[in-house]
């Protein structure tokens, strides 16, 4: 079952910042050979955005996907239900400051709301 994604303004802003940083890095990398520099491999910003975007896609397709390592997270309040559960999914693993996606079901049936995308403390 696929879910419809909804986003908080905080999550949207973070996703767009990651996307813009990746685009700037890709443009700089692709322009380097034109300026006489050598072609380089993808940057950290490009890799990070690719990982976050893939995790969001997997979340929409199947929140229980094994690669997401989804588990309940107690430190955030559910935005729609007082006793609702908030979940944490991994966008990265085994890396310092690995990014996490915090999400919940709702507000409507078949919806997943992305609450935040943040680096792990």
Whether the Cβ atoms of residue 99 and residue 48 lie closer than 8 Å to each other = yes
Sign of CA dihedral 104, 106, 112, 117: negative
**Could you report how far apart the first and last alpha carbons of the chain are, in Å?**
32
Residue by residue, pLDDT tens for the chain (121 residues) are: 799 999 999 999 999 999 999 999 888 877 765 555 566 777 889 999 999 999 999 999 999 999 999 999 999 999 999 899 999 999 999 888 999 999 999 999 999 999 999 998 6
The CATH architecture to which 4-119 belongs is 2-Layer Sandwich (3.30)
pTM value is 0.90
Kindly list the strands in the beta sheet with 111-119, ordered across the sheet, starting from the edge strand earlier in the chain. 4-7, 111-119, 99-105, 86-90, 71-73
Report d(CA 32, CA 26) in Å as an integer: 10
The domains of the chain are located at 4-119
């Amino acid at each position: 079952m696929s879910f419809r994604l909804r986003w908080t303004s905080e999550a949207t802003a973070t996703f767009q910042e990651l996307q813009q940083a990746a685009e700037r890095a890709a443009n700089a990398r692709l322009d380097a050979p034109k300026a006489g520099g050598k072609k380089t491999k993808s940057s950290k910003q490009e890799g990070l955005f690719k990982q976050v975007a893939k995790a969001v896609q997997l979340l929409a397709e199947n929140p229980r996907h094994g690669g997401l390592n989804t588990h309940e997270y107690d430190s955030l309040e559910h935005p729609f239900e007082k006793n609702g559960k908030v979940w944490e999914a991994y966008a990265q693993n085994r890396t310092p400051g690995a990014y996490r996606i915090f999400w919940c079901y709702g507000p409507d049936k078949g919806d997943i709301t992305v609450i935040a995308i943040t680096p792990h403390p």
